[in-house]
Amino acid sequence: GTVDKFQGQEAPIAIYSMATSTADEAPRGMEFLYSLHRLNVATSRARCVAAIVACLSLLTPDCRTPEQMRLANPFCRFLELAEAIPTEP
């Protein structure tokens, strides 16, 4: 289901697809693409694994205004923390 329909539910694996090549091409804009609420709902509902599927260009947002920086910052911070988790014992 979609992030919006998944509110309040859990699953063993949650896959969050960003489904666009660049923030400029996102039909609903950066506000929707980097929404902290949507990211939180999508990733916090996974019991075991939360995976984000995105074009590499979305992992380094091209912010041109302070508002865009505010929108992209939580997503970038999430990526920093996710990369810090060791993948092997």
pLDDT reported for residue 61 = 87
Q: Looking at residue 29, what DSSP letter applies?
A: H
Number of domain units in the chain: 1
Residue 79 belongs to a domain: yes
d(C-alpha 32, C-alpha 17), whole Å? 13
Top-confidence residue, 64 or 84: 64
Residue 65 belongs to a domain: yes
This prediction's pTM: 0.70
Residue 59 belongs to a domain: yes
List pLDDT tens digits, range 20-68. Answer: 877 778 878 888 888 888 888 888 888 888 888 888 888 888 888 999 9
Q: How many residues does the chain have?
A: 89
Residue 89 belongs to a domain: no
d(C-alpha 71, C-alpha 56), whole Å? 18
Confidence of residue 70 (pLDDT cuts 50, 70, 90): very high
**CA 26 and chain centroid, separation:** 13
What range defines the domain where residue 63 resides?
3-84
Residue 14 belongs to a domain: yes
- Phi then psi dihedrals of residue 11, to 5 deg: -150, 155
